[in-house]
Amino acid sequence: MNPESMDRILATEEELVPSSGFLASVMERVQEEASAPPPIPFPWLRAIPALVLATAVLGWGGYEFARFALPAAGELALASPRISATLVTPLKEAGWVAGSLAVSLVCWLLSSRLAGRSGLL
């Protein structure tokens, strides 16, 4: 198409006119949005302990991965202390029990604190 034919086609088209009530409905929606309350802010102070805990767990996991991934021939400073074979199994079990009790205690403390603030208790 050449520019003259496009100008001719565009000049013959009708002018667009909004339907009746369009402007009023748009302004009504704008008024509703302006009078709406602001959004609830994110509770960063409550999220910080979870972020710190997640960072600590990931860091500990990375440390353990690096410790077990190192070749045994190097015997770097990351090697664990020597413990007799008769104590290894009871120490592992005691560690798991202590860890699960600690996690349970932390979960209970956090949930009771949150429930106490909300007035549920």
Q: What range does the domain containing 52 cover?
A: 43-76
- Domain assignment present for residue 55? The answer is yes
Mean model confidence pLDDT for the chain: 80
Tokens encoding 79: 């090697």
Residue 79, pLDDT > 70, answer no
Inside any domain, residue 68: yes
| Average pLDDT of span 13-31 | 86
Task: Provide the pLDDT for residue 6.
Answer: 84
pTM of the model: 0.33
Residue 42, pLDDT score: 86
> What's the rounded Cα separation, in Å, for the pair 56 and 50?
10
Residue 66 domain-assigned (yes or no): yes
- List the single range of 41-45, 59-63, 64-68, 100-104 with lowest mean pLDDT: 64-68
More confident site: 91 or 25: 25
Per-residue pLDDT band at 13 (split at 50, 70, 90): confident
| Residue 33 within a domain | no
- Residue 116 placed within a domain: yes
Which range of 23-27, 61-65, 86-90 scores highest in mean pLDDT? It is 23-27
pLDDT above 80: residue 118:
no
Q: Is there a domain that residue 54 lies in?
A: yes
If one counts the domains in the chain, the total is 2
Residues 115 and 89 in one domain: yes
Whether 14 is covered by a domain: the verdict is: no
Query: In this structure, is residue 113 part of a structural domain?
Result: yes
- Encode the chain in three state secondary structure: CCHHHHHHHHHHCCCCCCCCCHHHHHHHHHHHHHHCCCCCCCCHHHHHHHHHHHHHHHHHHHHHHHHHHCCCCCCCCCCCCCCCHHHHHHHHHHHHHHHHHHHHHHHHHHHHHHHHHHCCC
